[in-house]
Structure formats: structure tokens, C-alpha cells
Amino acid sequence: MKDLESLSASQAAKALAKREIKAADLLLSCLDRIGQRESTVKAWVSLSKENALARAKALDKGPIKGILHGLPIGVKDLYDTYDLPTAYGSPIYANHYPSTDAVSIALMRQSGGIILGKTVTTEFASFKSGPTTNPLDQKHAPGGSSSGSAAAVADLMVPIATGSQTAGSIIRPASFCGVVGYKPSFGKISVAGVKSLAPSLDTLGCFGRSVEDVALGVAAMSGDHGLATVDDLHNKLRIAICKTPDWELASKDTVSAIALARFSAESIAKGKVEDLSLPKTFDHLRESQTRIMLSEMSRSLAFERDHYSKKMSAQINKQLTDGAMITYAQYSQDLDHAKAAQFWIAELMNNQVDLIIAPSAVGEAPLLKDGTGDPIFCRIWTLLGLPCINLNIGSGVNGLPVGIQLIAGPGKDRFLLSTARAFALALPDPVLRDQA
């Protein structure tokens, strides 16, 4: 079988389980692709070629180890790994070698995954851009903070890679790079061993080329292996479009993407696809999310700020200063606001709406010089802790992908994956149906 690097994670996993391909051959194909493209894409911080190849050969000789058996994996350089340096996107930790894996990485190894290397993250998963380019057009950004992971999957360097989201760091880069990005329900995956930015918001997830791919990844990362089987959707859904209070910021490309999403959703909808109007109290949720994030950042990175502020960018130093100025009373008020909104959305999605469709980003990937892009259309869904998945539904004026996110109720991850696959299969473009 040729061009093994072009196999999706789910395709490769099935072929590996049947011994139709070898893990070593798949790994070598990925390494060859990295050798061809890394100088342009700059997705990787470090690679573990020898260790990865040794593990691949051992897996080829032994029994099938688990749901990720033989799959090469890119790990966002925010996750601790015992056998690779973990710098968290900062020169402060340039020579940092953790003694253990993050919980999610240990579980991926238990499931037979091969940790190929660490992918670029922005500084402490914040907003300062790293060196990674968009593999579809190197003049454009891949998004942040999970920039290297999204780019590596999009460029066929690995079939699957981990990410994290505190504002929009899975959904946005997935949209910009044209891959499937899945942010599960808050708390679905243990954050132990992952550098904390804002504990009330930090959510782990992954990137793949199909819904089945990301289901496989999160199943392994969480230990919920039942999630790896994406069930068929048998019932029509109550679907609503939520343009959010920030709709005026959406580009023409995103407006068109939402219109196409409405058309595609009608085939799986029970009745008309309605517009969802959020309560006026939701108008200020993105400000609450921003304050919670900054306030918690100022505490999470207190040690680094006190001892190594000169090794931190001016951008993140300002964020930490701004966060420290937010009073605890204001922070507590924002948490209460979030809890009230979480209760409202849970009631809505238990009784009136099964699925929400919303923009993933303002539009196409911005130019590199303009930063990682605005997470404005992701902030409230992250704050609400809802499971979200990016599917690419079209392209913009520059020919770059434009995605939309599907959002389910809290804890309804299996339902979201089933719905996402059904939605992808309903898309008019046969190429985009491959996301299923």
C-alpha cells in the first residue's frame, strides 16, 4: 500500500488491526513527509524518530495493543512527555524534561499510540504566534494555540495530534487548516500533566481528518473507549443556528458558510432549522470568559512572572498584568454568570434543541503577520463547557477553508460525534463528505 501518510487515523487503525500494513511502514511514510515539508510548515518542536521506530517495530511483532495500535501521534508541546522535552512554548522551559507523561498521553500509549514528537504551541498556549505556517498557504497563519498540531495533521505529517482549548485553540486552527477539530465536554479528558492556563476553561481534545479520527483520539485520551465507535444517527434532530451576539464580525465567507450549513442541516433536521436567540444576559459572556481566563492566567503563571518575566513576551506579560488587576469579587461574579448560563443552555438542550450550529472563526486564516486570529466565536461555547466539533464547509476568497462548529449539550459527546458524521455526509461537496 503506497502513500500511507495520506491515510486517516481511522483508516490506518483498521488496516493496522488487520495487519494489512505495518506500523513501521506508516511511521516511515510520515517521517518522509515531515522531511519534505517541515522546513516550510514548521509544525514540530522535537521528534523522537529512533524511539518511535523502535516502538513501531515492537508493535508489529506483538499483539494488537489497543484502539490506537501503531498510529503515529503529534503531541502539543503543552503536554508533559517523559521521553521528550516539554517547553510549553516558552524559552523558560527550553531544557525541561518531565519525569512522567500527562495522563492523556499515558493513556494514548496504553492504547498502542506512537508518540512521534512534540508540535508547536504558542507561548503557554496564549496568543503570541509561533513559527508554524498554514500548510495550505505559508503566507497565512495556522491559528493558535494548537498551531503545530493542526498544521501537522493538515499536511499529512501525522494522522492525529492533540490540542487544547481555553478560548478557541482547537476549533479555530481546525477551521484555518481545513481539518476536523474536536473539543469534548469540559472535564472529559484529565488535564493532569498539561500546563495550566485557566483551570475553569482548559479543555483537551484533538485533530484528525474525519469525525471517526477525532472520536478515536478522544476515546483513547479519556479512557472512554466506547466513544471510538461512532453510532449511526437514526432520528431527525431539532437544529438551531446561533449567530451569537458577535455576528457583525463575521466575514462574508463565514456568512456564506452558515447559509450552506443551514441548507445541509435540513436533511437531518426535524422540521425547519431555526435561528436561536440567546438571552440578553449572554451578550456579556465573552467578556466574562476573557476576564476569567486572564484572572486565572495571572495566578497559573505567577511563578514564571515573578522569576522569568524577561524571558516572556511583552504580549503575555501584559495579559498577566491585566489579569492581576481583575478583583476576586469580579472574578467570582463572572463565574456565577457562567454557571447561570450553563444551567440555561443545559435546560435548552435537554428540552428544545438537540444541536447548535455556529461559526468557528471570523473567516479564513489571517496573514501570518496579523497573528493567530480572533477566537471570538469560540469563547462562549468554551465557557459553557459544551462539546464542539469543527467541520469544514467551504472556502473563502483566498481559497482557504472556512469551518462551522457543531455544538451539543453538556456531556453529549457520543451524540455530537454521530450528528457530525451525519452532517458531513449531507454536505453537497463529495470531498467534504470525507470528513465523516
Give the residue among 221, 176, 224, 225 at the shortest CA–CA distance from 194.
Answer: 221
Residue of 29, 90, 111, 145 marked catalytic: 145
Residues 6+ apart with CB under 8 A from 314: none
Give the residue among 155, 33, 32, 15 at the shortest CA–CA distance from 71.
Answer: 15
Phi/psi of residue 44, nearest 5 degrees: -115, 140
Residue of 76, 183, 188, 243 marked catalytic: 76
CB contact at 8 A, 404 and 423: no
In degrees to the nearest 10, what's the CA dihedral of 133, 136, 139, 141?
-50
Residue at 150: amino acid letter: A
Gap between the Cα atoms of 51 and 388, Å rounded: 34
**169 flagged as catalytic:** yes
Rounded to 10 deg, the angle between the 413-425 and 211-222 helix axes is: 170
Give the containing element (helix H, strand E) for 56. Answer: helix 49-61
Gap between the Cα atoms of 323 and 318, Å rounded: 8
Provide the β-strand partners of residue 194.
79
Residue of 10, 169, 298, 300 marked catalytic: 169
In degrees to the nearest 10, what's the CA dihedral of 97, 99, 100, 102?
-40
**76 flagged as catalytic:** yes
**6 flagged as catalytic:** no
Strand-by-strand arrangement of the 355-359 sheet: 44-47, 114-119, 72-76, 160-165, 203-208, 180-183, 388-395, 401-407, 355-359, 239-241, 274-275
Rounded to 10 deg, the angle between the 285-300 and 314-324 helix axes is: 100
Residues 6+ apart with CB under 8 A from 329: none
Task: Supply the residues annotated as catalytic.
Answer: 76, 145, 169
